[in-house]
Structure 1
Amino acid sequence: MHTSSKVMPWARGLAAALALSGSALSGFAQQAQPPATADGGYTAATRQWVDDALAQSSATNAMPLRMEVTVGALDSRLRLASCGKVEPYLPTGGKLWGKSRIGLRCVDGVTRWNVFLPITVKAYGPAWILRGPVAAGAVLTQDDAMQGEIDWAEDFSPIVANADQWVGAVAARALMPGQAMRFHMVKQPQVFQAGAQVRVVAEGNGFQVASDGQAMQAGVIGQPARVRMENGRVMSGVVLDARTIKLEM
């Protein structure tokens, strides 16, 4: 196994989150070609290709992550024919995140072949770590977690990096000590019940209109909700706070 580690910036957002797709590498595969040598040559060149691809994907940044790439070996039973040009690529649906694989295909040889190298991409960065158990449905407070460093790529659910994204939220399920806070673990609290009287606001180019309405479903901040206006018309908007819905214009 071969490992490389470096600090590099991570792209904005959570998807970022979080993973480089095959479409993002469509032009990159033409630039890096492992030499047609023994397995060690393919492995080393593939590791460099992955490092370069990760660096290229991180041109803009918000959060510095320490990337660690481990490249496995080809199956020792393989007997690959000589090839003048070997092209690395990310298989369809593959990601440079967590456990994955890189394809190697011969595009200039008497025998065309296609093989795969296993890789593991770890992305170490800051996270909020739970101090103790939290019951499902409990409201999270600042004291429930402390800052630490974990492998963001250990799970595909994005890390909740900012405290204001989880403090005051509700545990979506029972949480255990040592877990890193991730988005699938928390949800925003319900702020009003179906049937509650709410303020409905609509904004446009240079104007704002407000009126009263009745919520037709429970409201969660940031989530859509339907509201019945005073004239009986049903409209959809986004919950802003405990008594306000902003209409979608």
Structure 2
Amino acid sequence: MSKPRFIPGDWRRTLCAGLMLLCALRGAAADTTPDAAPLAGRLTEWVQAHAGGAAVAGPAGRRPRVEVSLGALDERIRLAPCLRMEPYLPPGTRPWGRIRIGLRCLEGATRWNVYLPATVRVFGQALTASADLAPGRALSAEVLRLAEVDLAAEASPALVDADALRGRSLARPLAAGQVLREHHLRPRQWFGVGETVRLLAQGRGFAIRSEGRALGPGLDGQTVRVMVEGGRVVSGIARAERTVEVLL
């Protein structure tokens, strides 16, 4: 019987193909399973190029190291031989961390569709706490150090540039050795209540600028109300130092 062949596709589908072919066919007929070793090598290359490439670059452009742990199908599942299979990622799946990969048979005596759990770990340099840090603690290079961590362990991005964090503070405690991620930080505050701010409104072919008084703190990326001349109140997004982008 001919060995399975995969439909050409983008890197996501190729990544799935390697993963699924290595493990999902454990319950299928033995003569339908190609040699796993070359596929494992190709899988690693694809993950390095794409999953690793999606990571935040470490110091000196150091590339992340990728490890893949494959789960297994229920031992009770027995897949019929298949000549043409299509691997896929369910909608919204990111090829990092704990994922679920789908594989469906398109050409065979029996059509089937299965899912396989897998874990993709991406190790690279990121900032960690050099000691226990309490909420509200201002960050600096003195309390942070670079270490190799699993960048894919959480959805929130790991941070790598200590200089860019000067003036930022923690929203939650950080234990010694714990990875510093975006969700650990308090939003950057661009201005305070009562400060005069610039209002910017842009559209196709026009740009309007004015000033007003902030009625709330200007937290980065969050909505704030501003009182303009005449007492009218408008809403916008705090985008930069004393700057609000008006919502049209």
TM-score of the superposed pair, with normalisation by structure 2: 0.71
- Counterparts of 1:172-183 in structure 2 under 5 Å? 172-183=171-182
Aligned to 1:200: 198
- Counterparts of 1:1-150 in structure 2 under 5 Å? 34=21, 37-38=29-30, 41=33, 44=36, 47=40, 50-51=43-44, 54=47, 57=50, 63=57, 64-150=63-149
- Of 54-63 and 181-190, more deviation after overlay is shown by 54-63
1:54 maps to a residue whose letter is V
Percent of matched pairs sharing the same residue: 34
Q: Is the 8 A contact 1:72 1:117 kept in 2?
A: yes
Q: Is the 8 A contact 1:25 1:90 kept in 2?
A: no
Higher relative strand content = 1
- In 2, Cα distance between equivalents of 1:42 and 1:170: 53
Give unmatched runs, 5+ long, in structure 2: 1-8, 58-62
- In 2, Cα distance between equivalents of 1:144 and 1:30: 40
- In 2, Cα distance between equivalents of 1:146 and 1:129: 5
1:41 maps to a residue whose letter is T
Q: Is the 8 A contact 1:39 1:73 kept in 2?
A: no
Aligned to 1:6: none
- In 2, Cα distance between equivalents of 1:174 and 1:39: 54
Alpha-carbon displacement from aligned partner over 1:51-97 (angstroms, at most 9, x marks no partner): 46536646977623222222234333332222222222223443311
Q: Is the 8 A contact 1:215 1:227 kept in 2?
A: yes
- In 1, Cα distance between equivalents of 2:75 and 2:34: 13
Tell me by how many angstroms 1:104 deviates: 2.3
2:70 maps to a residue whose letter is V
Aligned to 1:18: none
- Counterparts of 1:133-172 in structure 2 under 5 Å? 133-172=132-171
TM-score of the superposed pair, with normalisation by structure 1: 0.71
- In 2, Cα distance between equivalents of 1:90 and 1:140: 38
- Of 90-99 and 35-44, more deviation after overlay is shown by 35-44
- In 1, Cα distance between equivalents of 2:245 and 2:168: 24
Higher relative helix content = 2
Alpha-carbon displacement from aligned partner over 1:21-78 (angstroms, at most 9, x marks no partner): xx97687599889487539937938756754653664697762322222223433333
